[in-house]
Structures are given as structure tokens and as C-alpha cells.
Structure 1
Amino acid sequence: MTDCQLYLISPLDVSGDFPHRLERALDAGPGLVTAFQFRVKGVDQHEAARLAEPLQAICAARDVAFIVNDSIALAKRIGADGVHLGQGDGDPKDARAQLGREAQIGVTCHASKHLAMEAGEAGADYVAFGAFFPSTTKETEHRPELEILEWWSKVFEIPCVAIGGITPENCAPLVEAGADFLAVSGAVWGGDEVAAIAAFAEAIRAA
């Protein structure tokens, strides 16, 4: 049995009935989905905060960490549980200073052991490697090997997240290699979210 859990990443459009879909997804996998990343592009901070509000409440009611993608300022403004930083989005030390000791700070490390070690030294709470598979959500240029997950989980205590095109059908090797979290978006929101969460639960259990 593995302790691997799901880290849900929002679609870019979280308007309309998305809050209801989020509720369904989280209720389909209690204890399995432990974090949700709010990822919207091209809206101002005021609008982003408005969109985040109902989603943040849904996560809080279910004890799911609400993580803001890219923006330390937005995470601070809405009192998010944490922030996820790409390589160009700021320094984990700066995020820690602004968001406090309890904040969850994650860093995208692509396929680089060096970037991951730097992130750990800077105080990141988790590191993300990927994309392991072609992704429909995001253009990807880095393609790490499974070995990086095995190496990281043996050497470091900080959890690692696998990201990029992950589906119930292809996730088993990532789980076996030691990923603590699978970051998923398209595989859940592209169809029936309840069925997708159930399929991930089954695949993770089987791995």
C-alpha cells in the first residue's frame, strides 16, 4: 500500500459550474485528494480573488490545502494555504517571509536534481518534477526519468510531486518510483471528475 495522494490542479476556467465540479471531485476521494492548486491566467488579482473565494471555502470545508499558482501576492491577499512557484516566479525564502511559517511552498524543478536540491535548501515544502508524459494542459519541454523520483524519495524527506499528462492508466510507475503526490488536471476535468478520481484511487491502490 502506498501513501501516494492526488494534487488537483484547476482548469484555466473556474467559472460557471466549476465550484460544483470541485465539490464532486473532492467528495469522490476523501483522503485521496489532499491539495488543490488554483491556476488561472490572464485575469487581474481582484478577479482572481473573486474566483478563488468559493473554491477556497470548498477546500477548507474538506481539509484540502488551497495552493495558489505563481503569485505570492495573491496567496497572501486571500490567505491561501500556500503557493506554487515556477522557476521564474520568485524565491521560496521570499514566499516564506510573506506567507509565514505554516504556508505550503512548492517549487517546479522540471527534470533537475540541482534545482530540486536548491529548492529544498531554500525551504520549499515540496518539489515538483515533470512533465513525465505529454500534457494537454501546458507546453512542456522537460521530460524527467522515473529515476529522479526514486533518487529523491530515498535521499530527501521533502515530498515530491509528479506532474504532466498523468492519467489512471499511466500513473502506476510514478507511484512505484516514490512520488508522494500525483498532480492531475486534464485527466480529471476533461471528463467525469467522479469517475476519474475513482479510477485514480484504484490505480494507486493497485500500484
Structure 2
Amino acid sequence: MAKSRSSEPASDPRDCRLYLITPPVLPDVEAFAATLAAALDAGDVAALQIRLKDVDDDTVRRAVDVLRPVGQERGVAVILNDNPELAKETGCDGVHVGQEDTPYKQARAIMGPDAIVGVTCHDSRHLAMIAAESGADYVAFGAFFPTTTKEAKFHAEPDLLEWWQSMMTTPCVAIGGITAENARPLVEAGADFIAVSSGVWAHPQGAAAAVQAFGPVLAL
């Protein structure tokens, strides 16, 4: 993933890569850090987004303090959801903003030119083109499948990824209900990154096994 301050693991540039998203609630962040470390050690992961919902800033700071080193020590870009000020303060590699969050240009001004700033674009070609032309490091499309992680108000189809790759060079992230079993069509359609939350953390054999299962699916 572009502009990470930490070094990244080598991978074939044609390969799609994993973009992990934390569960929305982490009752025991230290225990999750051990699970995260095992998952990151199990295969190629480009990025970790820390996305906690309905918690205060101090809870987010605590989570970042524990999880950021786990990712960055392994060359994984650590991205905070929604809050560029907190992302900057806590030493994250970037921030992800939605359409109802801090606007891209404001997030970029806060984070600086070398940070990663990604933008949710739902199923909208128009929003994605605006984000890319403004300088976003990636655009995120979805949801591609039903998801229990968050309410999906938009539904995207694989042909959106095909169109994007034919038109633009800004990387695209596919998100929403993705598992190792259903990811292949999105990879074949041109997703640069596959964003996964419950598809890894809720895997019946554990998060490390889930990351391993994604390996052959993501490599073309």
C-alpha cells in the first residue's frame, strides 16, 4: 500500500493483497493483539485498519498504542478509521474517511503528503473519480456481499472493479462480507486489495488459518 512509513513485504505487483479491518469492539485489546500477530505472520497483509465503533478517543488511543506496533513491526500499514487528527497524533500510517466523515482534502491537510488517505466510495463511480482526482491513495467500493460488521446501505458489483481498472490507476479496495470462499470473482475483476473483517476474525479455524486460506485466492 502506497505511502506507508514502514517497509512493506515484497509481493508480486499483479497480486491482490489483504487489507484487514479490526472488529468494531475489542473487549480485550491485548488478547486481540496476539491474535493479530498470528494473523499477520500467517501470510501477506498490506494494511490494518483500526475501526472501533461507539467508543471514546481514549479507548481508540489505547487500541492504537497496542496494535500499531504489531502491524508496523511487520511492515503492515496501520490506518485509523474516520479520525485524521487522532491518526496523526497516534502515529498511524494513514486514515480512512467515509463520505460522511472528514472530507478528503481536510484529511490530507491534517495527515500530510506522505500519509495514506483512503476514501469510501460505496458503489459510485462519480465519488471514486472525485476522490482519485483529488489525490486519494485508494478508493473503497462495497458492499459486495451481505455483511454483519456494519449496516450496508450500498451494494457494488464486480463489474465496477473492472471498469475502474480500465479507467484509473488509483488502487481500489473491495469491501463487504468477503471471505476466502467468495473473494475470487473480486480478485479476477481487478481489486487491488480485499478488505476483510469477520471473514478473518470469525473464521472457525482462527484468524491465522483464514489469512492462509486467502493466499492462493488472491494470487493470480
> TM-score scaled by structure 1?
0.95
Residue 41 of structure 2 is aligned to residue 41 of structure 1 = no
Residue 163 (1) aligns with residue 180 (2): no
2:36 is aligned to 22
RMSD: 1.2
| Structure 2 residues without counterparts, runs of 5 or longer | 1-11
1:82 aligns with 2:94: yes
Query: Partner of 1:204 in structure 2?
Result: 218
Which SS does the other structure have where 1:143 is aligned?
Answer: coil
Greater Cα offset, 125-134 or 196-205: 196-205
CA contact (8 A) 1:130 1:162 kept: yes
| 1:46 CA displacement | 1.8
Q: Could you tell me which amino acid in structure 2 is paired with residue 159 of structure 1?
A: P
CA distance in 2, matches of 1:90, 1:50: 22
Q: How far off is 1:117 after superposition?
A: 0.5
Cα deviations by residue, 1:95-149 (Å, 9 ceiling, x for unpaired): 1111111110010000000000111122110000000000111111211121110
**8 Å Cα contact 1:11/1:186 also seen in 2:** yes
Quote the residue 1:143 is aligned against. Answer: 155
Instruction: Work out the CA distance in 1 between the residues paired with 2:202 and 2:177.
Output: 12
Q: 2:145 & 2:76 partners in 1: Cα distance?
A: 26
2:145/2:178 contact within 8 Å kept = yes
The 3-state SS of whatever aligns with 2:210 is: helix
**Matched letter for residue 24 of structure 1:** A
For this pair of structures, how many residues does the alignment match? 204
Question: Structure 1 stretch 124-133 or stretch 145-154: which is displaced more?
Answer: 145-154
- Given candidates 116, 119, 129, the residue that maps to 2:141 is 129
